Structure 1
Amino acid sequence: MFIDKLEQRQRQVNSLLCVGLDPQPTKIEALGINLLPWLKNIIDATADHVCAFKPQIAHFSAMAAEQPLTDIIQYIHQNYPDIPVILDSKRGDIGSTAERYAEEAFGRYQADALTVNPYLGGDTLSPYTQYKDKGVVVLCKTSNQQSGQLQDLVLQSGQPLFLQVAQLAAQYWNNNQNILLVVGATYPEQLAAVRQQVGDMPLLIPGIGAQGGDLAATLEAGLRSDGLGLIISASRSVIYAGDGTDYAKQAEMAAEQLKMDINHFRTH
């Protein structure tokens, strides 16, 4: 089970940090290094401090780098088998198309979990959740500024749409106990409401770092009583912490510092 693997890793290294792998060609080319060696260096430098890695598929596919994506997930599995890989692709479609997306993520790329969009309804999530050992990370309250245009709409029930998604995920969609939710660090009040709605379900938290989410407020709103339940994702603030020949060392230092900052709030 993905969640068991994730939480075992979190306890093993005392870290809630997930490092996102979002390659930007201009930044990498400026270092005079190719994509795959750059990825391996970033992973090797930060692995001791993370509970997961999260490659963003669009950053790879835009570069026609599907093979490096396959290679780097395999590299993580071979060299760091305790670290799960979350493929960030936010897939969402019906029927056989959703089945192909699931095969892409879990078959072709061998990811441990996948981000998905629930906007088309619960039946479009079952092609993913039927992979019982994989994680299905459902968008709930995203970190972008205008997420509220849809996600905060108040329904006839009196609750906002994002809380309806949380309720459906916890009560109706999660038959195989492998669903997680995405809730942005930029909305700690909404995060607290989601936590109350879903109990102990793990939450993936983007928005810390470059997007300016409040770490202390996020942890206060979302942590479970056991100090787990959150995956704090950071990408640009870690992997591009340095732009010189010591870029890997700078990434390591940024990851370690963020892990320490998270743990400071977890223990106070």
Structure 2
Amino acid sequence: MSRLILALDVYEREDALRIAEEVRDYLWAIKVNWPLILGSGISIISELKERTGLPIIADFKVADIPNTNRLIAKKTFEAGADYLIAHGFVGRDSIKAIQEEGEVIIVVEMSHPGAKEFIQPTVDKLIELANEIKPFGIIAPATRPERVRYIREKVDKDIKILTPGVGAQGGSAVETLKAGADYIIVGRAIYKSKNPRESAKKIWEEIENGA
């Protein structure tokens, strides 16, 4: 089974479907974010799922009160998503509201430099939350493998670690896997490539050979 996730951060429906079909052989899942939903509508989730047969992760980084989180989750899962990414800093009740509707993935630490300002100082509390409520997985930064290693040592082994930041942000797939990641998330290095399929294949081979 592949350990590569495509972050499909494009606007246009046709571009999204074309790229997804080109690279699906090398993927475990496709992650969609607000750019694609705003550009193509929420129905793109079911379209991608039908065209590729892959799990769809809705990266909406939900961060609201329990009732609002529940409403967002309900519509997201009804649209065909398999997983929904949410921020844990809003607390247990808000995350549990999502779990009532489907599988959640909690952001523990993001990959951009600004994550060091406010998110990184709360990592231990977010790990504690994850260990308590048992989400499918958590998000940790491939741009900082040492942080992935730290998080892997503290989070329950059954909780998957998904890591954005490989490729355009400079993270290494191999180093991130060695640090304890379960899945590698790649966006621009694939969807902005002149040959997305070949780029996905190259990263997949790197993961396979380095794992």
- What range is the shorter-chain TM-score in? over 0.9
Residue identity opposite 1:79 in structure 2: R
Give the TM-score normalised by the residue count of structure 2: 0.93
- C-alpha displacement at 1:121, in angstroms? 0.7
Shift of 1:231: 1.6
C-alpha distance in 2, partners of 1:101/1:54?
17
Task: Name the CA distance, whole Å, in 1 between partners of 2:173 and 2:17.
Answer: 28
Instruction: Give yes or no for the alignment of 1:103 onto 2:86.
Output: no
Counterpart-to-counterpart distance in 2, 1:48 and 1:209 = 19
4+ runs deviating over 6 angstroms: none
Give yes or no for contact 1:23–1:60 (8 Å, CA) kept in 2. no
Q: Who is 2:56 aligned against?
A: 85
* Structure 2 counterpart of 1:253: 198
Say which SS state the counterpart of residue 125 (structure 1) adopts: helix
The question of whether the paired residues in 2 share the 8 Å contact of 1:129 and 1:179 is answered with no
Distance in 2, Cα, partners of 1:254 & 1:148: 30
2:22 corresponds in structure 1 to 45
Residue 190 in structure 1 maps to residue 147 in structure 2: yes
C-alpha distance in structure 2 between counterparts of 1:77 and 1:152, whole Å: 33
Structure 1: give runs of 5+ residues left out of the alignment. 1-10, 25-34, 154-160, 224-229, 243-249
CA distance in 1, matches of 2:49, 2:149: 34
How many residue pairs are counted as aligned between the two chains? 210
What pairs with 1:137-152 in structure 2 (closer than 5 Å)?
A: 137-152=105-120
**Greater Rg over alpha carbons, structure:** 1
TM alignment of 1:117-196, pairs within 5 A: 117-131=87-101, 134-153=102-121, 161-170=122-131, 172-174=132-134, 178-196=135-153
Kindly state the Cα deviation for residue 179 of structure 1 after the two structures are TM-superposed: 3.0
Residue 46 (structure 2) aligns with = 74
RMSD: 1.5
Q: Secondary structure at the match of 1:210?
A: coil
Distance in 2 between residues matched to 1:210 and 1:118, nearest whole Å = 26
Shift of 1:59: 4.0
Alignment of 1:15-34 (within 5 A): 15-24=2-11
Give distance in 2, aligned partners of 1:211 and 1:53. 19
Q: Could you say what secondary structure the match of 1:181 adopts?
A: strand
1:38 deviation in Å? Answer: 1.9
Which amino acid counterpart does residue 39 of structure 1 have in structure 2? A
The amino acid that maps onto 2:141 is G
Contact 1:116–1:137 under 8 Å retained in 2: yes
